[in-house]
A and B are shown apart, each in its own frame.
Chain A
Amino acid sequence: MTLLHRRLAALLSGVIVLALLGRAVAFPVDGDKTVLPVATELNEDALDKPREVFQSERTGAKSYLVNLGDLAFNSPGLLGEVARQAGVSCGTCHVNGANNARFFMPKMSSRPGTFDTTGPLFNPKANNLAFDPVRIPSLRGARYLAPYGADGRFASLRDFVHNVITNEFAGPEPSPATLDAIVAYIHDVDFLPNPSLGPAGRLAGKITEAEHRGEALFAKPFPHDPALSCAGCHVPSSGFVDHQQHDVGSGGLFKTPTLRNADFNAPYFHDGRFDSYNQVVDYFDRTFQLDLSAQDKGDLVAYLTAVGDGVQPYERDGAGATLKEINDFSTVLATAIPAGDKDIVALAVDTIGRELRELTEQYPDRKNTSVSGGEQQRVLARNGLKELVLTLRRIEMAVAAGRNADAATELRNYRNLMAAAVPSLLASAEPWSLFNQDVHDRHYAALRQVMRSRHISR
C-alpha cells in the first residue's frame, strides 16, 4: 500500500469513525438522586473508544507496575468519596489514556472536554471560587511532555499525579507504590504511530503541496517578531513541545501542548475554547499579526493535520476489548496473592468487579424492552460474568483472612473461566448485547424517551 493509499485509508477510517461517533447515542446522567450533577455526560456508552498503545508491548509484555498503575488509574476508589460514589476514576476523563472530548459536567465544565480542577464538587477545600475549567488533555506520550498541568507548574509527573489525587479530588494519600505504578502506566501510554512523521519530526513520505508549504510556514519567523515562530515553541524534533510556558494572549502562562496526535485532542487551548485547527490558526494570525493569506491558513491546517494524525485512533468497543483490559488488570493478582498484599488485592477486586458488573449490563436482562431474542444466550453471558465477580470476591475474602492458598485456587478458577468459557458465552450473546449498534441505539433511545417525559413535565 502506498503512502497515499494509506492516507486515503486513514482519512476514510477517520470519516467512518466520525460517522460512528455522530451516530453514537450519548446518554447523560439523569434523575435527581445521583451524586453527579444532572446532565453530566460521561460518554461511557460510546461504542468507539480511543485506542491505547503501550510502549512496553512493542518489545514484550506490560510489567506488573504498569498493569497495577492502569488498574489504579481506572479505580474510583483512588479519587476520594465523591468520585467513589459516582464511579468516577482518572480513566473517566482520560479514556484509555486519551482525552474524553465529550465529558461534560454542569458547573464543572464550560464546554464538552473541559473540567474545573479547582471547582466545588470533588474537593470543596480546593475550590478557588472561580469558574476556570481547563481542557482535559490526552496523556499519550506524556513521558516526553514535562512540565505537567495546563500551566506547567509541576516539573514531576509524580508530583502532578499526587496533587490530582489528594488536592483536586480529596482522595486518600496514595501509597508510594501506587503513585509509582500510576506514573509507570502514564509513562507507558505512547503516541499513536504516525507514518507521516519522519526523523526530527519532519514530514516524510509522499506529502502534499499544501502540507509541504505548511511545514515551511510553520518554521518561518513571525513578521513582526522574527525571534518567534510556530516551530520555535512546537519544536518538531522534540515532540512538538519546548517544555516551556508561554503567554500567547489567552489569559496567562500556559505550557506548550504537543501537536502529535492532536487531530484527536480537540478542543484546543488551555480552556478548550477552540474546536478546530482553523480557529487556532485564525487566532494566531490575529494575535501575532502574521498576515496569513487564505492559502497560508489552509496550508498550516493541512500541515497540522498531517502532524497530528495517528494510525487507528479509535477501536470498536466490545466484549473482546473489555476482557483484554480486565485480563491485564487481573495479572496483578498473580503477584499480589502470594505476597498476601491485602490492599492491592482489594483494589483489584473492587476495580475488576466493577468492570465486570458494567460488562454484565451490556447483556440486557429479559425485563429490558429494547431487545428481543437471544434470551438464553444473554442469561448465560450474565451468569458467567456474575460467577467471575463472585470468584474475585472469594479471592479477596480469602486473602483478607490470610488464606492465600485458597485465594490462589480461586484465581485458577477465575483464569479457567476467563480463558475460554466466558469469552465464548459473551461471543454467543453479542448479537443481542449493547455492543450491537442497533440494540445499543434502541436501548438508549428508550431511556432517552422515558427521561424526556420527565423533563417535559418540569
Chain B
Amino acid sequence: MHKMRVAACLALLAASAGVRAANAGALEDGAERYRPYLIEGVASALEGARALRERAAAADLPGAKKAWLSARAGWERSEVFTAGFVPELDAQIDAWPNADSGFHAIEAKLFGAGNTDVAADATGLVEHLNDLHGKLKDITLTPQGLLDGTVRLAYEVGESKADGGESRISGTSLDDMRNNIAGIDFAYHTIFSTALNTVDGKLDEMVTNRIEQLEAIVATPDLRHVNIADLRQTSEELVIALQSASAKLGLQRPTLEAQAR
C-alpha cells in the first residue's frame, strides 16, 4: 500500500514536471512577446514625463496636466510588471499620500495647488523612467513574476473607490483602473492564455470572461457609476481563476503582495 502511494506521488510529480516542461517554453515565449508592450508603456510614460517637465518649465499648467495624465496612463498600463520586478522604483514613483517625489507629489501640485512648480519632481521622474526604460530590453521577464503581478493587480482593481480612489486629486482613478485592466488583459492574453487553453479550455474561458466583465464594469462615464460590488466580485473571481491557472501552467501559486520569492 505504502509503495503504491509513493508510486502515485511520483507519477503525479512526473506529470506535473511534464506540465511545467511543456509550458515553460510557451510561457517564456509569451513573456518575450510581452516585452515590447512593456517597453512601449514605459516609453509612453517617459515621453509624458519629459513633456511634463517641458510644460512645467514653461509654466503651462493645462499642458503640464495633460502631460502628467499621459505619463500616468503609460505607467498604469505597465503595473503588471513594475510592482513585482522593480518594487523599489515602484515605491518611489508611485508613493502616496504626501510623497516627496513621484506621480502623486506632482499630482498634488498640478491638480491640487494648481501650480507648475514641479521642475525637480519632473526631472526626478524622467530620470527614474529613463533608467527603467534603458534596462527593459535586458531584464529577465519570468512568467512567474508576470503572473504574480497580474494577480496582484487584479485584486487591487477590486478595492473600494468610494473615497475617490488612488488618484483622487486629479480625478483619474477610473482611468487608472482602465489602464490597469488593459495591462492585465494584454499580459494574460499574450503570455498565459494559449498555454492554459491547451490544458484547461474552460478555465481560460473563465479568465477571459472575467477580464471582459471588468472592462465592461469600468466602461462608465465616471467613477460614481462604477458598480463597486460587481467590480469587487469580478476582481476576486479573476484572481481565483488565475490562482487555479497557476497550477495548470506548472507555476507556483501567485503571491498577493509584492515580495521576494
Contact between B96 and A87, CB atoms less than 8 A apart: no
- A369/B97 contact (C-beta < 8 A), A87-B160, A386-B155, A454-B111 known: yes
Contact between A443 and B256, CB atoms less than 8 A apart: no
Contact between A357 and B259, CB atoms less than 8 A apart: no
Contacts of A33 in B (CB 8 A): 161, 164-165, 168, 171, 173-174, 222-224
Contact between A379 and B257, CB atoms less than 8 A apart: yes
Contact between B162 and A87, CB atoms less than 8 A apart: yes
* Whole-angstrom CA separation of A29 from B100 in the bound complex: 23
Contact between B239 and A382, CB atoms less than 8 A apart: no
Of chain A, the residue at the smallest CB distance from B165 is A33
Q: Quick check: which of B26-34, B46-54, B227-235 contacts chain A, the rest being far away? A: B227-235
How many whole Å from B171's CB to the nearest CB in chain A? 5
Contact between A366 and B91, CB atoms less than 8 A apart: yes
Residues in A334-391 with C-beta less than 8 Å from chain B: 350, 353-354, 357-358, 361, 365-370, 376, 379-380, 382-383, 386-387, 389-390
Instruction: Type the 1/0 row for B86-100, where 1 means its CB is closer than 8 Å to any CB of A.
Output: 010011001111111
- A390/B240 contact (C-beta < 8 A), A77-B229, A450-B98 known: yes
Contact between A31 and B163, CB atoms less than 8 A apart: yes
Select one of A354, A386, A393, A453 contacting B256, CB under 8 A.
A386
- A450/B236 contact (C-beta < 8 A), A33-B174, A34-B162, A85-B162 known: no
Contact between A453 and B97, CB atoms less than 8 A apart: no
Residues in A152-194 with C-beta less than 8 Å from chain B: none
Q: Does A290 contact B (CB under 8 A)?
A: no
Specify which of A367, A376, A449 lies most central, judged by the most chain B CB atoms within 10 Å of its CB.
A367
Select one of A36, A367, A383, A450 contacting B108, CB under 8 A.
A450
Contacts of B19 in A (CB 8 A): none
Select one of B228, B232, B257 contacting A386, CB under 8 A.
B257
Contact between B171 and A367, CB atoms less than 8 A apart: no
* Whole-angstrom CA separation of A127 from B159 in the bound complex: 32
Contact between B112 and A454, CB atoms less than 8 A apart: yes
Contacts of A393 in B (CB 8 A): 233, 236-237, 240
Select one of A354, A376, A446 contacting B97, CB under 8 A.
A446
Residues in B111-134 with C-beta less than 8 Å from chain A: 111-115
Select one of B95, B160, B240 contacting A369, CB under 8 A.
B95
Contact between A368 and B240, CB atoms less than 8 A apart: no
Select one of A34, A368, A389, A454 contacting B96, CB under 8 A.
A368
Instruction: Type the 1/0 row for B165-186, where 1 means its CB is closer than 8 Å to any CB of A.
Output: 1001101011000000000000
Contact between A449 and B160, CB atoms less than 8 A apart: no
Contacts of B173 in A (CB 8 A): 33
Specify which of B96, B98, B100, B259 lies most central, judged by the most chain A CB atoms within 10 Å of its CB.
B98
* Whole-angstrom CA separation of A452 from B90 in the bound complex: 25
* Whole-angstrom CA separation of A74 from B214 in the bound complex: 26
Q: Does B255 contact A (CB under 8 A)?
A: yes
How many whole Å from B43's CB to the nearest CB in chain A? 23
Contacts of B95 in A (CB 8 A): 367-369
Select one of B159, B171, B224 contacting A35, CB under 8 A.
B224
Q: Does A447 contact B (CB under 8 A)?
A: yes
Q: Does B203 contact A (CB under 8 A)?
A: no
Contact between A30 and B162, CB atoms less than 8 A apart: no
* Whole-angstrom CA separation of A454 from B239 in the bound complex: 35
* Whole-angstrom CA separation of A35 from B109 in the bound complex: 25
Residues in B35-61 with C-beta less than 8 Å from chain A: none
* Whole-angstrom CA separation of A32 from B173 in the bound complex: 11
* Whole-angstrom CA separation of A19 from B97 in the bound complex: 27
Contact between B96 and A367, CB atoms less than 8 A apart: yes
Contact between B98 and A383, CB atoms less than 8 A apart: no
Contacts of B87 in A (CB 8 A): 366
Q: Does A65 contact B (CB under 8 A)?
A: no
* Whole-angstrom CA separation of A34 from B160 in the bound complex: 11
Q: Does A15 contact B (CB under 8 A)?
A: no
Residues in B218-261 with C-beta less than 8 Å from chain A: 222-224, 227-229, 232-233, 236-237, 239-240, 243, 255-259
Of chain B, the residue at the smallest CB distance from A84 is B229
How many whole Å from A218's CB to the nearest CB in chain B? 45
* Whole-angstrom CA separation of A394 from B236 in the bound complex: 9
Instruction: Type the 1/0 row for A20-56, where 1 means its CB is closer than 8 Å to any CB of B.
Output: 0000000001111111100000000000000000000
Contact between A29 and B255, CB atoms less than 8 A apart: no
Contacts of A376 in B (CB 8 A): 259
* Whole-angstrom CA separation of A357 from B104 in the bound complex: 23
How many whole Å from B228's CB to the nearest CB in chain A? 6
* Whole-angstrom CA separation of A34 from B161 in the bound complex: 8
Select one of B90, B109, B114, B255 contacting A383, CB under 8 A.
B255
Contact between B233 and A35, CB atoms less than 8 A apart: no
- A390/B239 contact (C-beta < 8 A), A353-B232, A453-B112 known: yes
Contacts of B158 in A (CB 8 A): 357
Q: Does A457 contact B (CB under 8 A)?
A: yes
Contact between B224 and A450, CB atoms less than 8 A apart: no
Contact between B112 and A389, CB atoms less than 8 A apart: no
* Whole-angstrom CA separation of A297 from B249 in the bound complex: 77
Contact between A353 and B236, CB atoms less than 8 A apart: yes
Select one of A365, A366, A389 contacting B236, CB under 8 A.
A389
Contacts of B258 in A (CB 8 A): 366, 379
* Whole-angstrom CA separation of A3 from B249 in the bound complex: 69
Contacts of B98 in A (CB 8 A): 369-370, 446-447, 449-450
Which of B's residues lie within 8 Å of A, judged by CB? 87, 90-91, 94-100, 104, 108-109, 111-115, 155, 158-165, 168-169, 171, 173-174, 222-224, 227-229, 232-233, 236-237, 239-240, 243, 255-259
Q: Would you mind naming 22 contact pairs between A and B with Cβ atoms under 8 Å apart?
A: A29-B164, A31-B171, A33-B164, A33-B222, A33-B223, A34-B163, A34-B223, A84-B229, A85-B228, A350-B229, A353-B236, A367-B91, A368-B97, A379-B258, A386-B155, A393-B236, A394-B240, A397-B237, A449-B98, A453-B109, A453-B112, A456-B113
Q: A354-B232, A382-B257 are in contact. List 19 more A-B contacts (CB 8 A).
A: A30-B163, A31-B163, A31-B168, A31-B169, A31-B171, A33-B165, A33-B223, A34-B163, A34-B223, A84-B228, A353-B236, A368-B96, A376-B259, A382-B256, A447-B98, A450-B108, A450-B112, A454-B111, A457-B113
